[in-house]
Amino acid sequence: MKNPLASAAIGSIVRWLLAGAATFFVDHGIWTQGEASSYVLGASLAIVSIGWSLVDKYRGRIKFLTALAMTPDTTEAEVKEHISSGGATPSVSTPVNIVPKLDK
């Protein structure tokens, strides 16, 4: 994520949700307080890592399909500029046997 404030906010929300779940497990005697703290920390890191990976894969797919849809002599820098300037991009769900087109 490019915005560090958004990253911190998402991390806080994930920890808050997990802490709520951990409280339930501690109240019902399933976990001890120490276990709950460890599990919340571990789950928070796992969820953030998975989310980061998904966003990275999504952005990579957009870049790849946009590059395929542009003219053959287009450079990677031009593809990045096209995407960052809000230019049209193909759908990330474009099947692998279909030539991607730039959505208008």
Q: Is 49 helix (H, G, I), strand (E, B) or coil?
A: helix
* Domain-embedded: residue 45: yes
In this structure, is residue 16 part of a structural domain? yes
Helices and strands (H, E) in the chain, number of each type: 3, 0
Tell me what pLDDT residue 6 has: 75
The Cα 40–Cα 64 span in angstroms is: 36
For residue 96, is it within any domain?
Answer: no
Per-residue pLDDT reduced to its tens digit, 21-58: 888 888 989 988 888 888 888 888 888 888 889 889 99
Residue 17 lies in a domain: yes
pLDDT at 104: 62
pLDDT digits (tens, 9 = 90+) for 49-104: 888 898 899 999 999 999 999 999 999 999 999 999 999 999 999 999 999 999 76
Share above pLDDT 90 across residues of the chain, in percent, rounded to a whole number: 46
Q: In the chain, helix, strand, coil percent, each to 5?
A: 65, 0, 35
Task: Render the burial of 10-25: b for 16+ CB within 10 Å, e for the rest.
Answer: beeebbeebeeebeee
Q: Is residue 93 part of a domain?
A: no
Instruction: Indicate whether 31 belongs to any domain.
Output: yes
| Structural domain contains residue 91 | no
Give me the domain span that covers residue 36: 4-84
Q: How many domains does the chain divide into?
A: 1
Domain-embedded: residue 89: no
